[in-house]
Amino acid sequence: MLKKIGRILILVMAVFPLLLIGLAALRRWSPGLTVFTIIFAVLGLQSVVHAVLFAWPYTYNAYQGAFNVLLGRRWPIWLAAGLVGIGILFVGARWINRLDERRRNQLEQWLSRVLIAIVIGGAAYAYFLRPVLEPTTTANYWYAGDQIPITNGENLVRIGWYITPLGLLLSVWGLCALIWRERSLAVRVFVAIGLLSTVVYVYNILNNPHHIYAMRRYVPVVIPALMIWGAYGLAALSRARWRGAHWAALLLALAWLGGMIWQSRVIWRQVDDAGAVSALTDLNRQLEPGAIVLLDDQSPVGWGDVVGTPLRFIYGHPVFVLRNPQAVTPEALRAVVRGWQQQGYPVYVMSQADQAVSVADRLPLSEAQQFVFETSVLQPTYTDYPNQVTPVRYAIKTQAVGSLH
């Protein structure tokens, strides 16, 4: 799964009710909208039931975190403001509906100018000023037991790593052209969802800013929307009436495409952990079928997780990572292992080849079998675009636990 779509669903659930309220106030309702509203309501109810009854831990983590970051403890104020906004939307839509066509077009043009000014000003601030005004800080990261940088001030700049600064410029231009030229309901809904999603994740990525986690935020909605807006901007430029507009649009398109290809020259050729399946199959041959594996890895997230996960879910071995082996007494550890052996399970201990086994004085271990796997991964970076390949080497020894009967 590329991203926690539940957080972006908050925006979708907000856009469509507002849209329906506006259409009702404008007296533009239709039987098709009635069918859509019923299906949307049933889907929303089903989502709530599933979230509460079957996926509550995930729901709490996704939505509670988003609400805490975006709203904080002032959610009653935001709720009241939202209700007032809905009321203003309804009254305003009814008022607009009473205007003649000329006045309505003038009002739409004025609102479009305001929104375009907000888009240009917001993009300029987020790209040029915010990185300076909001310097990088650090925060505790419970998952890895470490600290990570908080780089929200650089979010729009970092999106530019992937679609290039020229792509960002064309996307802003295309979005402004869309807002000014297009009046269809479908386009406005698309712009609303894409713009809200982009604003949320540019304001706060709501995640670890590591490359792969950041891309989970941007790939499903933000980058596709920016690319579509940029393409529209190029098309609008090509239709301009001044001489050379077609050639200018073509050159900009080639420069944009060439920039993205050059920027991703390392990424599109790289296969992280290449050869891992074959190597892990060889490692699995060192184990008896159904064996229980103890992984001697005290790091919060380390090689034990990389190796243990496929051993469990591909090869069917129960695995346990020894995060804090000193927390269990020798008698208790031997009793657990003895119980497994009495049930017919072979037990193995895996550890790094160049380190002593932390439980060697508590369990009788056989001679070690060595396993070495060398591969590569994309540069794990927080500070710049990942454009290097990092070699990775796993050197592991496997030892069978002798009988404790």
The pLDDT tens digits along the chain (405 residues) read: 344 445 555 556 666 777 777 777 777 788 888 888 888 888 888 888 988 888 888 777 767 766 666 566 676 777 787 778 778 877 877 787 777 878 878 888 999 999 999 999 999 999 999 999 998 888 888 777 778 888 999 999 999 998 999 999 999 999 999 999 998 877 888 898 899 889 988 998 877 777 777 778 888 889 999 999 999 999 999 999 889 999 999 999 999 999 999 988 888 889 999 999 999 999 999 999 999 999 999 988 889 999 999 999 999 999 999 999 988 899 999 999 999 999 999 999 999 999 999 999 999 999 999 999 999 998 877 778 888 899 999 999 999 999 987
Examine the domain organization and report whether 288 and 260 are in the same domain.
Answer: no
Note whether residue 193 is domain-resident.
Answer: yes
Note whether residue 132 is domain-resident.
Answer: no
**Tokens encoding 327:** 């927390």
Residue entry with tokens 């972006």: 8
Note whether residue 128 is domain-resident.
Answer: no
Backbone phi, psi, residue 184, to 5°: -75, 150
Single pTM value for the model: 0.80
**Count of structural domains, the chain:** 3
Choosing from 264, 297, 317, the residue where a domain stops is: 264
Instruction: Show the DSSP H helices in 219-244 as ranges.
Output: 222-238
User: Angle between the 185-203 and 5-25 helix axes, to the nearest 10 degrees?
Assistant: 140
Please name the residues in contact with 215: beta carbons below 8 A apart, sequence gap of 6 or more.
2, 162
Examine the domain organization and report whether 248 and 304 are in the same domain.
Answer: no
Q: Give the domain extent around 260.
A: 137-264
Note whether residue 321 is domain-resident.
Answer: yes
- Beta carbons of 220 and 153 less than 8 angstroms apart: no
